[in-house]
Amino acid sequence: MKLLTRTSLYFIGFSFIAFIIGGIFSYRVIQAIYYHQVDETLKTEKLLIEEQINYSDSLPDFRPVFGHTIELTVYNSPRKKFEFIKDTVLYDARKKELQHFRYLITTNTSIRKQGYIISIYKPLDETKELITAIIFAMTSLFVIMLAFLIILNYTISKRAWIPFYKTLDLISGFEISQPSNLSLPDSTISEFRRLNKVLNRMTKKLRRDYVNLKEFNEDASHEMQTPLAIIKSELELLIQSEGLSEEQMQMIHSVYDATTRMSKLNQGLLLLSKIENNQFGATDEIEIKAVISRILEHFAEIIELRKIAVEISLPKSIPVRMNKVLADILFNNLISNSIRHNIPGGSILIGFENDMLTISNSGHPLLIDPKELFNRFRKSDRSSDSIGLGLSIVNKIIQLYQYSITYDYKDSIHTIRIRMKPE
């Protein structure tokens, strides 16, 4: 969920809660004000009636005067004084329905020592309808204002976050291997301006460290290759010399094999570093079938020597966009792996269907966890002369192009499947 959407939802949620609380409070306030006015009206009418009782010999019919029901009872004996006001519900014979009233009853004694009871009933139904109409009008107004505020808040927030999204787009397109440093625009908002300064400083340091590490790897690899080449050359001359015992020859061969292994290891690690740093940027449209056929021709002698049956089931055209060097390395490692770990008189099957390249070969079961097969320096046969980087390099190339690779072993057949389509 986007930050702007989340803040808008928070705003709507809290506004809705505030609306409910405000609506209840407004209703109570309006009701209290109205009841206060009704009570004051009832008290005023009561005082007028009491004056008539005290200072007049006749008692007129107060109903036409005040427009609602008034009951008056006069006694010859005094009455104890009390008064209260409350709500009540009575049946209206004229309307033939129950109605709500505000009811005042008071008992007192006049100056003539006559007791009396005054009951005044003021109808509330019309008033409640008025209060309901007022609340409805206020609610409608509030909903309109809330909708306006939500749209206004969303518009203002979206405009305020424009510098952030620009920064995000630039960061998303940033490549550490690109020659130029990331340059984020300045902003009038202090928080975004500070963020851009931090990101500019951080990306500059990252690229500087990347360049230093890249140069170190290249220099170290180059400097190691030179003495290794010299050592191998001197060892070859030493092997050709006369007068060496069998034990000395074995020792020289061991050193020569170790030097060759170290040279391969150095080249493999350098290649992994280049792939991880995306130094193989240029891509071309290549034909998988042509690349595989060329690599099989290269291994034709060893395939024939080990009597391995090779079956190819590939369409005429399988175009993919890859770097030519990486494509050669990818398929060379896969085919070399299927030959090295095969058995004499075994088989290799290469097929392609629904964007899925399959390379299967006969062989003995793995001696390691299949999940570790694509890790560096992991190999099934520890006594093998392999340096354990072949499938790790394959996996890095697969990740670079956002392909996917899987491995399984069934019925003495190792199978590697590669989906040659970005996920």
Structural domain contains residue 70:
yes
Q: Are residues 144 and 204 in the same domain?
A: no
381, pLDDT greater than 80: no
Which residue, of 218, 243, 276, is where some domain finishes?
A: 276
Q: Are residues 210 and 299 in the same domain?
A: no
pLDDT tier for residue 382 given thresholds of 50, 70 and 90: very low
172-200 burial, b if ≥16 CB within 10 A, otherwise e? eeeeeeeeeebebeebeeeebeebbeebe
pLDDT in tens, 109-127: 888 788 888 888 888 776 6
Backbone phi, psi, residue 299, to 5°: -95, 10
214, pLDDT greater than 60: yes
* Type and span of the H or E element at 310: strand 309-313
Q: Are residues 81 and 140 in the same domain?
A: yes
- Strand (E) positions, 222-308? 284-287
Name the residue among 339, 315, 327, 408 with its Cα closest to residue 416. 408
48, pLDDT greater than 50: yes
- Integer-rounded Cα radius of gyration of the chain: 48
Average pLDDT value over all residues in the chain? 79
Which residue, of 276, 303, 325, is where some domain finishes?
A: 276
Structural domain contains residue 222:
yes
Which residue, of 228, 258, 276, is where some domain finishes?
A: 276
Q: Residue 264 sits in a domain of what CATH number? A: 1.20.58
Contacts of 310 (CB under 8 A, 6+ apart): 296, 303, 347, 348, 350
Q: Are residues 317 and 414 in the same domain?
A: yes
The residue type found at 174 is F
Burial class (CB in 10 A: 0-12, 13-18, 19+), 247: exposed
Q: Is the dihedral of CA 364, 369, 374, 379 positive or negative?
A: negative
Q: Are residues 149 and 21 in the same domain?
A: yes
Q: Residue 317 sits in a domain of what CATH number? A: 3.30.565.10
* pLDDT confidence of residue 323: 82
pLDDT in tens, 250-276: 787 777 777 776 776 666 666 667 766
Structural domain contains residue 163:
no
Structural domain contains residue 182:
no
Q: Can you tell me the distance from the alpha carbon of 112 to that of 373, in angstroms, rounded to the nearest whole number? A: 115
Stronger pLDDT, 42 or 65, i.e. the higher one: 42
Q: Can you tell me the distance from the alpha carbon of 332 to that of 375, in angstroms, rounded to the nearest whole number? A: 18
Q: Are residues 43 and 114 in the same domain?
A: yes
The residue range of the domain holding 237 is 190-276
Mean pLDDT of 190-194: 82
* Type and span of the H or E element at 104: strand 97-109
Q: Are residues 26 and 105 in the same domain?
A: yes
Q: Are residues 10 and 151 in the same domain?
A: yes
Q: Are residues 12 and 149 in the same domain?
A: yes
Contacts of 246 (CB under 8 A, 6+ apart): none
* pLDDT confidence of residue 383: 42
Structural domain contains residue 176:
no
Q: Contact, 207 vs 221, CB < 8 A?
A: no
* Type and span of the H or E element at 31: helix 3-55
Structural domain contains residue 165:
no
**How many distinct structural domains can be found in the chain?**
3
Q: Contact, 45 vs 106, CB < 8 A?
A: no
419, pLDDT greater than 60: yes
Q: Are residues 221 and 111 in the same domain?
A: no
Q: Are residues 30 and 149 in the same domain?
A: yes
Structural domain contains residue 175:
no
Q: Which two tokens stand for residue 295?
A: 């690599």
pLDDT in tens, 151-180: 888 888 778 878 888 888 888 777 776 667
Q: Can you tell me the distance from the alpha carbon of 249 to that of 283, in angstroms, rounded to the nearest whole number? A: 47
User: Coil, strand or helix: which one is 75?
Assistant: coil
Q: Are residues 234 and 320 in the same domain?
A: no
Mean pLDDT of 206-214: 75
Structural domain contains residue 181:
no
Q: Can you tell me the distance from the alpha carbon of 393 to that of 376, in angstroms, rounded to the nearest whole number? A: 8
